[in-house]
Amino acid sequence: MASERSPMGAINMSDKTIDRLAGATPVRVARKIKGLSDRAIAWIFVGPTIFLLLAVNIFPLIWTINLSFTNFKANRLNREVEYIGLRNYERILGDSDIWLSMQATAHFLFWTLFFQVLIGFTLAWLINKKFKGNDLWTTIIVLPMMLSPAVVGNFWTFLYQPQIGLFNYIVTFFTGADPSSFEMLGSVDLAPWSIVIVDTWMWTPFVMLICLAGLRSIPDYIYEAAEVDRASKLRQFFTITIPMVLPFLMLAVLFRGIENFKMFDLVVQLTGGGPGSVTEMASINLKREAFEKWRTGYSSAFAIILFVTVFGLASIYVKALNKVKER
Amino acid sequence: MKQLTLATVGALSVAASTLSTAVQAEDLTLCWAAWDPANALVELSKGFEEQSGHTMNFEFVPWPNFADRMLNELNSGGKLCDLLIGDSQWIGGGAENGHYVKLNDFFDSEGISMDDFAPATVYAYSTWPKGTPNYYALPAMGDANGWFYRKDWFERDDIKAAYKEATGDELGEPKTQKEMLQIAQFFQGREIDGKKVYGAAIFTERGSEGITMGVTSALYPWGFKYENTPGKYDMEGAVNSAESVEALEFYKEFYETATPPGYTNSYMGESLDAFKSGQVAMAMNWFAFFPGLYADADTGGDKIDFFVNPPQNNAGSTLGGQGISVVSYSDKKEASLEYIKWFANPEVQAQWWSMGGYSAHNSVLNSETFPDSAPFAGDFLLAMENVQDFWQEPAYAELLLAMQKRVHDYVVAGQGTAQEALDKLIEDWTEVFEDEGKL
């Protein structure tokens, strides 16, 4: 588009473009909006979006906050709804099962982020080296993240099967243990790790791609200057590569962190929250409360607590990210 | 001229009757779980279509999602189902929340008597409040949790001798729960025809109702009760009695010592798979699957036999089965009631049993030929004499999920003791009943 920058920095379109756009406006519409202020026209365009935002996001949020102070049950519409103050919040915060599910979520979140960042960055660093077949390896590595979580959950269930599963046989090959002697999905100790392994397998490529973008955005001349200054490779890595990739890495952590905080599908497919409740994430617990037990008021309060937690953590994190970018 | 007039009147009558049928013909949708008996019902319902002129459509949902899908449908006032064969535990919610049409007036006007159906099924599938003559469903499918085993293995001399040597007992259908465990432990890890086999497939599923249905199959024979006084919700001392604790410990021992590896989240499908693949000597499952198992080319016929859930302190089986209800949100209630009337007919009920459905009609169950009509028919009658069902309260889903969690935590995850699991269960249930205003 032909444009020119005004002294004030605003972009002015050429007269030719304005004439073309004006000419494309139907006469009837042009007549109707003639006489409207710029502000009014702006509202006409922005209005539908704001309305949708209010209807789809803000209203449900306010409604959920309202419900969280009641004993409402969506399957008992003929029952009188009572306002019970902060009772739902008190119950949730004093419920040891809720804290166990938060603990399971934290375990999953921490270790998946740890492994995905570690392996994702390492893979990106290796892929960034120019070598033959580089593109082919990139394609192969990103394949898992293209699959549906339901499919991944299903086939890993088979891989983890103690009698016929490939995973157990591979472990057996290296350790000599009987394949049936351990159950990845059925053991209280191993099940939390089994879901970490699957999520890491599936989403490490995503972190790798973001890191790769960061690595490729570092201009070569910086490394060349470092070479001239006789900086060692290790020094270059810690003083150039890491600081310049850090904003990208933090962005990947933010995306994966938010996704994994609300992890549901993969874990339901793999363990259903079991054995017992050791892999029952907060999101699975919330779904059970809301749509299986139908404790709508209670689950609304739980949803608000989760929302505030994610929103609070994400806000702090984004501030940190912006500081890193500014450096 | 007279002949012409008669012919004209006749033609008009035929046209009018055809028109009348066309106007009244409805497209009915019947919702149920996707399993063997549902296929039999499709075949059976062809008779209704021919007789009434209505068209039957079916919405079958796999068991693990059945409750979620259908209860959502009912709670949202959906019109998907005109007729619903809903689980027995839904009857309280169906009645109190206005999902089901009350059928008393209809039964009275059509001469359908609940005395014609097995009392246990009427109590469990039709009445709310429990045991009162307020009917919200017609017993459609009697069912209970039973057992089946590899008869060919049990009859082999080498295996019988090995069992005798190992236990001092004769190998045969178990007469008690503990004897059943002993047999299962005998088969656990044993090599038969060059293949490693295991004791038994039991229910351990966490997500829907699986482990509760399995555990109650041990709890009931030990004398488990939900309340000390029926209707008072006084659970302390009943739910966590010494017998209940012993039964729960027994189920955990069964799970740990007599089931295949990796059997941590298994229900009906997994039980059938384990048996059909020759992996286990015995398996628990619903009687509804028994006709299909008997007909199986590889493990059915002479190779299989069935037994009722063995007693321990007393006889007791976990109730399955469902009643058929008319959904109150349906626009086709009249036609739906026609289906119920047709289904209640003794001849249709006899046909239902012959096609693989478990009729609850006395004319079928009390017939002299019934016990010998199938290898599992006699066991079915025995089971139905001593069935017990889970809570059927409107808040049944909350009650069920609490039990799923507590028993899975103990049996599969090995957390805490049986006493603690049952104590916590009482706490959970008390909270639910307090919320319901019943305590």
Give residue for tokens 């499918």. Answer: B141
Q: Decide: B242 and B436 in contact? Cβ < 8 Å.
A: no
Average pLDDT of the residues in A227-241: 93
**Cβ-Cβ contacts under 8 Å, A97 against chain B:** 405
- Domains with residue ranges and CATH for chain B: 27-143+320-388 (3.40.190.10), 145-318+395-435 (3.40.190.10)
Cα of B397 to nearest chain A Cα, Å:
5
Average pLDDT of the residues in B6-20: 44
Q: Do A76 and B435 touch (CB under 8 A)?
A: no
B320-363: pLDDT as tens digits = 999 999 999 999 999 999 999 999 999 999 999 999 999 999 99
Closest-approach residue (CA) in chain A for B406 = A276
Residue B196 pLDDT > 90? yes
Of the candidates B14, B52, B7, B68, the residue with the CA atom closest to the CA atom of residue B348: B52
ipTM: 0.75
Q: List residues bridging with B435 in a β-sheet.
A: none
Q: How many helices (H) and strands (E) does chain A have?
A: 16, 2
CB of B417 within 8 Å of a chain A CB? The answer is no
Q: Do A294 and B72 touch (CB under 8 A)?
A: no
Residue B6 pLDDT > 90? no
Q: Which of residues 176-235 of A touch B (CB under 8 A)?
A: 180, 183, 185-186, 188
Give Cα separations from A51 to A39, A42, A46, B362 (angstroms). 17, 14, 9, 62
CB of B93 within 8 Å of a chain A CB? The answer is yes
**Cβ-Cβ contacts under 8 Å, A293 against chain B:** 397-398, 401
Q: Decide: A69 and A88 in contact? Cβ < 8 Å.
A: yes
CB of A277 within 8 Å of a chain B CB? The answer is yes
**Cβ-Cβ contacts under 8 Å, A162 against chain B:** 261-262
Q: Decide: B199 and B185 in contact? Cβ < 8 Å.
A: yes
Q: What is the DSSP string of B122-187?
A: HHHHTBSSTTSS-BS-EEEE--BEEEEEEHHHHT-HHHHHHHHHHHSS--SS-SSHHHHHHHHHHH
Rg (alpha carbons) of chain A, rounded to whole number: 27
B128-185: pLDDT as tens digits = 998 899 999 999 999 999 999 999 999 999 999 999 999 999 999 999 999 999 999 9
Residue A154 pLDDT > 60? yes
Q: Decide: B64 and B211 in contact? Cβ < 8 Å.
A: no
Q: Do A97 and B405 touch (CB under 8 A)?
A: yes
**Which pLDDT belongs to residue A10?**
44
**Cβ-Cβ contacts under 8 Å, B405 against chain A:** 97, 276-277
d(CA B350, CA B422): 42
The minimal CB distance from A272 to the residues B206, B262, B435 is found for B206
**Which pLDDT belongs to residue A1?**
39
Q: Tell which CATH architecture fits domain A90-326.
A: Orthogonal Bundle (1.10)
Of the candidates B109, B111, B77, B71, the residue with the CA atom closest to the CA atom of residue B90: B71
Give residue A80's identity as a one-letter amino acid code.
E
Q: Which of residues 18-77 of A touch B (CB under 8 A)?
A: 71, 74-77
Q: How many Cβ contacts (< 8 angstroms) between chains A and B? A: 86
Q: For residue B8, what pLDDT band results from cuts at 50, 70 and 90?
A: very low
CA atoms within 13 A on the CB side of A223: 14
**Which pLDDT belongs to residue A14?**
56
Q: What is the DSSP string of B62-121?
A: -HHHHHHHHHHHHHTT--S-SEEEEEGGGHHHHHHTT-B---HHHHHHHT--GGGB-HHH
Q: Do B397 and A273 touch (CB under 8 A)?
A: no
CB of B346 within 8 Å of a chain A CB? The answer is no
CB of B261 within 8 Å of a chain A CB? The answer is yes
All structural domains of chain A with their residue ranges: 15-67, 90-326
The model's pTM is 0.83
Q: State percent of chain A over pLDDT 90.
A: 67
A118-149: pLDDT as tens digits = 999 999 999 998 788 888 989 999 999 999 99
Q: How long a stretch of residues is chain B?
A: 439
The minimal CB distance from B71 to the residues A75, A77, A278 is found for A75
Average pLDDT of the residues in A270-297: 91
Give residue for tokens 């209707």. Answer: B231
- Residue B92's CB: how many other CB atoms inside 10 A? 20
Cα of A288 to nearest chain B Cα, Å:
8
Averaged confidence pLDDT in chain B = 92
Cα of A292 to nearest chain B Cα, Å:
6
**Which pLDDT belongs to residue B374?**
94
Give residue for tokens 């992890």. Answer: A263
Give residue for tokens 């008997």. Answer: B294
